[in-house]
Structure 1
């Protein structure tokens, strides 16, 4: 913004200078001078050469006009030069003031996250932190990446995150978490070592590319190690092996793995086939759920024709031949079994219906 202001100042000065020259030529032409003499007089007058007048200036009006030309020409020339110098100087001044403001902003920040590396992962991480409202400081040795982060309004520190001085400028003594997400494993290990030497309290999350690096990062002082390649491979494998919730429930191998995962959370997945004499036959799912005080969730229904209904609505009517896939905690298994038990057979004794 300030650079544009200096450039506008130069344009105004140049315009005023040209207007002064044109007005001076016209004035001398009105006085009866030739065009060449008028131009020559303007040049030696405005630029202060002073070789002497081309023609005698003996009238008060011509003397006053020449004095005005000298004042206007010199002033506009100084104005142009001043704008040019200002445009050059403001870049350095603004840069120095920007660094000072940035340092003051970091010094006033505490409990923040230090993100080492503003590459592909660093950009995504900082975007998430900004969305969550978490304060953070970006550290990178690449001036172009730092300029990009600064343009986004982030607090930045230019320098090698493996150097103590750089981490101190990032406020590591007041930081809560340090995340080193550089694509270079060796750099992440060195940054982890440096950060752990500076403070024992900070939580360090490090990026790694191999399991061997994971062990080194843990020994270097990292609290958590994230392996993006391993996470991505696991996700792809799950998508290949478990393409849908229906396949997850229908395949015994996948269903068993789901039961194991739920068990670690204190939950269970059960299949409840609905017979023609079941208590819940013809009832909506919502009624079954209320009978268990809401401590269960029907995730799918497999009908008698083997079709699978995922996430059934509460008004779905339970039919004979259905199999309910229900997730519940261990304490609700008994009440759920009672709710779905078979109806007791009726006995007709001497014309009267009695329950056994």
Structure 2
């Protein structure tokens, strides 16, 4: 129902009533109460008697007023009923149209919550012509979203049926921006269960909630206030000449993984080698802003790194993110391993068949290649043989994974040049641990 149409209709009825009141007061010398009563019974045609006998002029005015009132009431009824019908019809039609569009989306993003942060994210998605769906529980916010022309669902993002309606099964990423950390935690849990390969970023207000949300399945947790504080401090340094103005900055948490070359060296040395500034240290659940440069890093530490949007120059290969080629014809496994490797600090390079995988290894010369045993066009065994026939690729570590546990299959893979054979099982973390192990052995002096 359009508010302006209702407003104009009610204003017209009020004007019609005022015409009758002033007409009877002027022509028949009625009091205000008498004129109001006479105008109402005339407009509504209830058939009550006149307040007092009317003059001929009064009767002529009443006749015209009846005709005018009948036309005015008919028009008002038509406008009000039409608005209600239009609202119901259009609303239902628009909802079905929007649901159809959402059902056709593939590799889109889901935005849970449309506050100030959500609105900014939606505008950024729109400016970059990215498909996205907003889930919002507030009817008032949904009205604003509709005016902006965004696809949306009016519902609770913590409910699985709402996430399904937003197309979570075919989505690429999800942002949880609800006002309460427990709600965001529940969204992350539900989303991770419905789509294991989904990339999830969540908002967290309390520091104690970050670890819980990460354990629930989020790939990254962001505190808007902490991010804003770092940005403000950075702008102040630039404004006061303590630091030259640079390209836009990107902040991210980097974890010191098991076997990482960062373990045991100081924050100052890591910052120098990475070519980035370290603004925070997270150790045993405790955060330290601007940590001392002399602190030595331990396994499991997390660093809040602020660097230019351009790729930083590193001091040596050991500090650079390692490239890992993943070759598998199953798109779900490919996306899952890519996400886990990226989260572990590697650069995943996916390929969907043997020939594509071989070409990618030859082109990129990765630190590790994770190859499925059975592949289209070229098997994992054939890829290993072709790589090992080229001496310049001797440093590339080859991992074959297979569901076949027979000893002869494992021996066949090792004879072909594989460095490690892994059984394909439900624990995807074994692949990540194997990659970390072979990289550590790759840089070991005794390897």
Q: Is the Cα–Cα contact under 8 Å of residues 116 and 182 in structure 1 kept in the other structure?
A: yes
Q: Indicate the residue corresponding to 2:3 in structure 1.
A: 3
d(CA) in 2 for partners of 1:42, 1:212: 68
Whose Rg is larger?
Answer: 1
Per chain length, whose mean CA-contact separation is higher, i.e. which structure has more relative contact order (CA < 8 Å, sep 6+)?
1
For structure 2, the 5+ residue unaligned runs are 246-267, 276-311, 321-447
d(CA) in 1 for partners of 2:155, 2:14: 42
d(CA) in 2 for partners of 1:129, 1:265: 36
In the TM superposition, what are the counterparts of 1:103-182 in structure 2 within 5 Å? Answer: 103-182=99-178
SS of residue paired to 1:110: coil
Give TM-score, length-normalised by structure 1.
0.50
Q: Tell me: CA distance 1:16–1:45, structure 2 relative to 1, closer, same or farther (3 Å).
A: closer
Cα deviation 1:197-222 (Å, max 9, x = unaligned):
22334332334567875554454333
Cα deviation 1:181-233 (Å, max 9, x = unaligned):
346443333212211222334332334567875554454333x2134477667
Give the number of aligned pairs: 252
**Once the 2 structures are TM-superposed, how far is the Cα of residue 66 of structure 1 from its aligned partner?**
6.8
Q: Tell me: CA distance 1:14–1:203, structure 2 relative to 1, closer, same or farther (3 Å).
A: same
d(CA) in 2 for partners of 1:262, 1:102: 51
Q: Indicate the residue corresponding to 1:340 in structure 2.
A: none
In the TM superposition, what are the counterparts of 1:220-299 in structure 2 within 5 Å? Answer: 220-222=216-218, 224-228=219-223, 243-244=242-243, 258=275, 261-264=314-317
Cα deviation 1:307-336 (Å, max 9, x = unaligned):
xxxxxxxxxxxxxxxxxxxxxxxxxxxxxx
**Once the 2 structures are TM-superposed, how far is the Cα of residue 124 of structure 1 from its aligned partner?**
3.0
Q: Indicate the residue corresponding to 1:49 in structure 2.
A: 47
| Alpha-carbon RMSD | 5.1
Give TM-score, length-normalised by structure 2.
0.42
Q: Indicate the residue corresponding to 1:333 in structure 2.
A: none
Q: Indicate the residue corresponding to 2:200 in structure 1.
A: 204
Q: Is the Cα–Cα contact under 8 Å of residues 10 and 83 in structure 1 kept in the other structure?
A: no
Q: Is the Cα–Cα contact under 8 Å of residues 21 and 42 in structure 1 kept in the other structure?
A: yes
Q: Is the Cα–Cα contact under 8 Å of residues 182 and 207 in structure 1 kept in the other structure?
A: yes
SS of residue paired to 2:135: strand
